[in-house]
Structure 1
Amino acid sequence: MTNSVPPSTSAIQTSADAEEPQRDSSFWRYLATKLGGAAISLVMVVLLGFFAFKLLPGDPVAKIARERPMSPEQIASLRAQYGLDKPLWEQFIKFIGDVFTLNFGESYVYKRSVAELIGEFFWPTILLTGTAAIVAITLGLWLGQRAAWRHGKLFDRIASGVSLVFWSVPTFWLGLLLLMFFGGTLHWFPTGGMRSANAPTDPLGAVGDVVAHLVLPVITMVAVVFAQYLMVMRSSLIEEMHADYLTTARAKGLREDLVRERHAVPNALLPTVTLVFMHIGGLIAGAVTVETVFSWPGLGKLTFEAIKGPDLPLLQGSFVVFSTIIIVMNLLADLAYRQLDPRVRRA
């Protein structure tokens, strides 16, 4: 009989040291692949951002000329000022240079730098969408895990049914209903804007005024999107409920709430990571409807006003910013998922 000799500590350490460079190399290859994909997406965004808006009906210079009388010489001078008299390929080259220097030109409507306008309207959008995202994620995951743990029971049917109903409702329609009922009929909340004309000047009163304006648009966004988190969490947790490691945890005498919170939920959360990052980017880009309905002074309302122009520099700048946010969020989702799920690291 051959005696088996256990590996020495030094041999195990040597094997671990050999695996470390392989893991590092795998990570850098993965990162390079994802960065390459993000770069290609960004190039496509820039191309689409230029050519798509050139196809929009309407001539911004002609609209300006209709609003105030202008001579043919003044119209020609205005076209030259905006660079619209140049061939399309020259306009495209200038647009590429402007994008990489974050200089999107001057807004036709606001007569201000597009970069300054986006910077000014960016933070109200972050306040609105960030608050809505936190509430929607918390509510959706909390309801989702409890619906899964009570799968098929009354709580599960009610939570799933209500969330799917709200998910199916058009955002603008729900926003208008809330605005008319709670703002117009009951007068519980302001009907638009971010601040009241007679807002308090003290810090606490000013914050309270902004919060009051924030309630209805946040409820509108949360009601429409929290179902995504609920359904993903519910389905993921249902798949985990009969896993062997949960049976082992129960056999150790752990209570059901501990089995759920310490073992099942952390594993079921993995599929929601990608959804969270993607949804944050989508919320920012999809704020156009809510901000327009509630006259919220953010990027969404700014984009809506630009469409009516059409204000081409502002449209192109907003489109590039929105798309870049979505691309970055998708990249972060891929990187975070790889760190959280060992199966992706081994792939």
Structure 2
Amino acid sequence: MSTRYLLGKLAGAATSLVLVVVLGFLLFRVIPGDPVVAMTRGRPVTRDQLAALRAELGVDRPVHEQFTAWVADALRGDLGTSYTFRRPVLELIGERLWPTVLLAGTATLLAVALGLWLGARGAWRHDSAFDRISTGAALAQWAMPTFWLGLLLSMVTGDLFPSGGMRYPDTPPDFPSQALDVAHHMVLPVLTMVSVVYAQYLLVMRSSLLEEKHADYITTARAKGLRDDLVRRRHAVPNALLPTVTLVFLHLGLVVSGAITVETVFSWPGLGLLTYEALTGPDLQLLQGVFVLLAGAVVLMNVLADLLHRVLDPRVRAS
């Protein structure tokens, strides 16, 4: 991989991050609602008290001054203080990051494995009953609204699985008990995310493998007398995986943001639920911090996907 290519990708990523910071700041300034009014809702406050609170939060200053101050603080590692929680934004993000990574990461791994397996088998048995049923079921689930599917699963399963939270408060503090409790609470949100997401991997894998089936090297492998499953496993699938690998890395950057709806429905204490709570304010400082984190993850994974694709595919390196 040439140094020039790498520097070009890093420069593009840096430019994207700058645009993310600018757009993230401006985007949340057009959200309807006044954070000061939201913070004092239900409390008897005077206009002078509201003005003093606006001055304390800095929302009474011109937008360009607010932006300059926020960028200067962000460069020092300070994303501000949450209006709602009255705590540093970076601290809140750190607390909520692991639950989201655990939930969305587990769901992504399962969705990738299921989608690739069904897509490969469906493509190799093109137009078979298995192909039609698996593809149709995946498309039907992909079309379902995530919140609706989550609520439906909660109603269907009844008391078999918890429908909210991450753990029970009376669970013993030892690791096995805590791990089993968290796994029990993860069943419904993970099942919801997998059901909606895996169709993307299935369709890309299926389409890619259908193209590889008619390639010359597949015909040559069959002419050598290799069994059909060996041709698929050793020759067709590795080449068909290339576009899927790129898709996986791109979606890894969206792992956190993809959990917002699911976390809200199941009250999972992660970044998704934190974002929802910030939107109800609106908590501008918290929204900006979470947005920069999510967008930065997408940009980073996009760069890694390009670099990995170049490593895996000799045709890209030669171009």
TM category (shorter chain) comes to over 0.9
- 1:15-39 deviation line (CA, Å, top 9, x unaligned): xxxxxxxxx5xx2222122112211
Q: How many residues align?
A: 319
Q: Which residue of 2 aligns with 1:181?
A: 156
Does 2:162 match 1:190? yes
What's the secondary structure of 2:201's corresponding residue?
helix
Q: Write the distance in 1 (CA, Å) between the matches of 2:42 and 2:90.
A: 26
Q: Which residue of 2 aligns with 1:131?
A: 106
- 1:158-202 deviation line (CA, Å, top 9, x unaligned): 1111111111111111011011221xx3x1000100011222322
Query: How does 1:330-341 map onto structure 2 within 5 Å?
Result: 330-341=302-313
1:85 shift after superposition = 2.5
- In structure 1, runs of 5+ residues without a counterpart are 1-23
Q: Quick one: which of 207, 212, 217 aligns to 1:235? A: 207
What's the secondary structure of 2:254's corresponding residue?
helix
Q: Quick one: which of 193, 201, 212 aligns to 1:221? A: 193
Q: Write the distance in 1 (CA, Å) between the matches of 2:78 and 2:234.
A: 50
Check the 8 A contact 2:123/2:206 in 1, yes or no: yes
Q: Which residue of 1 aligns with 2:135?
A: 160
Q: Write the distance in 2 (CA, Å) between the matches of 1:231 and 1:55.
A: 37
Q: Write the distance in 1 (CA, Å) between the matches of 2:278 and 2:232.
A: 49
1:70 shift after superposition = 2.5
Q: Write the distance in 2 (CA, Å) between the matches of 1:280 and 1:179.
A: 26
Q: Write the distance in 1 (CA, Å) between the matches of 2:215 and 2:26.
A: 52
Does 2:272 match 1:300? yes
Which stretch has the larger CA shift, 238-247 or 164-173?
238-247
Q: Write the distance in 2 (CA, Å) between the matches of 1:93 and 1:218.
A: 40
Does 2:19 match 1:44? yes
1:344 shift after superposition = 1.1
Which stretch has the larger CA shift, 313-322 or 97-106?
97-106
Does 2:84 match 1:109? yes
1:321 shift after superposition = 0.6
Q: Which residue of 1 aligns with 2:260?
A: 288
Check the 8 A contact 1:129/1:280 in 2, yes or no: no
1:66 shift after superposition = 2.9
- In structure 2, runs of 5+ residues without a counterpart are none
What's the secondary structure of 1:45's corresponding residue?
helix
Q: Write the distance in 1 (CA, Å) between the matches of 2:279 and 2:163.
A: 23
Provide TM-score, normalisation by structure 2.
0.97
Does 2:220 match 1:248? yes
1:255 shift after superposition = 1.0
Q: Write the distance in 2 (CA, Å) between the matches of 1:63 and 1:134.
A: 39
Provide TM-score, normalisation by structure 1.
0.89
Alignment RMSD (CA, Å): 1.2
Q: Write the distance in 2 (CA, Å) between the matches of 1:267 and 1:64.
A: 55
1:101 shift after superposition = 2.2
Q: Which residue of 2 aligns with 1:9?
A: none
1:67 shift after superposition = 2.9
Q: Name segments (4+ residues, structure 1) moved above 3 Å.
A: none
Check the 8 A contact 1:125/1:287 in 2, yes or no: yes
1:122 shift after superposition = 0.5
Q: Write the distance in 1 (CA, Å) between the matches of 2:291 and 2:238.
A: 36
Check the 8 A contact 1:41/1:327 in 2, yes or no: yes
Does 2:30 match 1:83? no
Does 2:94 match 1:119? yes
Q: Which residue of 2 aligns with 1:146?
A: 121
Q: Write the distance in 2 (CA, Å) between the matches of 1:221 and 1:269.
A: 22
Q: Which residue of 1 aligns with 2:318?
A: 346
Q: Write the distance in 2 (CA, Å) between the matches of 1:104 and 1:70.
A: 28
Q: Write the distance in 2 (CA, Å) between the matches of 1:99 and 1:291.
A: 27
